[in-house]
Amino acid sequence: MTKIRTTYMGDLHIEAIHLDSKSCIETDAPVDNQGKGERFSPTDLLATSLAACMITIMGISARNYGFALEGAYAEVEKVMASSPRRVGEIIIDLYFPDGGTYGDREKRIIEAAAATCPVANSLHPDLKKTLRFHY
């Protein structure tokens, strides 16, 4: 079980401490919701968590199936919706290392891993998740 302490620091800033590792994340409300946009917003972290989870599970799969994934990265776009205010879509462009040789087998493994990460499985099905793979 993981525990995280989340503290309101004032001025719409939050500090979250992962109690096991003592690592810290700070958030701010976005500019379009009364914040200054000085840090990740909570909804930015939601979108980032999806991409980080996908790459983590892809990395586990790559290691298990004997191919390299180092240098892979994602660019994430979060699209807000209203009524109620929420994340309506997360667009993730996944890029793979130059010179990487990914055949059909590796691409199937990578894409299956991305689609089955725990964060993706935890999000409401109405949240649109657009994935684009750039090999």
Any idea what the CATH number is for the domain that residue 115 is in?
Answer: 3.30.300.20
**Pair (23, 75) in one structural domain:** no
Question: The whole model's pTM is what?
Answer: 0.92
Phi/psi at 14 (5° precision): -125, 140
pLDDT number for residue 28: 97
Q: Say what the pLDDT of residue 50 is.
A: 98
Residues 48 and 26 in one domain: no
Same domain, 61 and 28: no
Together in a domain, 25 and 51: no
Cβ proximity of 46 and 37 under 8 Å: no
Position 130 scores a pLDDT of 97
Tally of domains within the chain: 2
For residues 16 and 51, state if they share a domain: no
pLDDT, averaged per 10 consecutive residues of the chain (135 residues), comes to 96 97 97 94 97 98 94 97 95 88 93 95 95 95
Give residues with Cβ within 8 angstroms of 99, minimum separation 6: none
Q: How many residues does the chain have?
A: 135
Q: Which domain holds residue 93?
A: 42-134
Q: Are residues 59 and 20 in the same domain?
A: no
- Per-residue model confidence (pLDDT) at position 122: 96
Q: Do 60 and 118 sit in the same domain of this protein?
A: yes
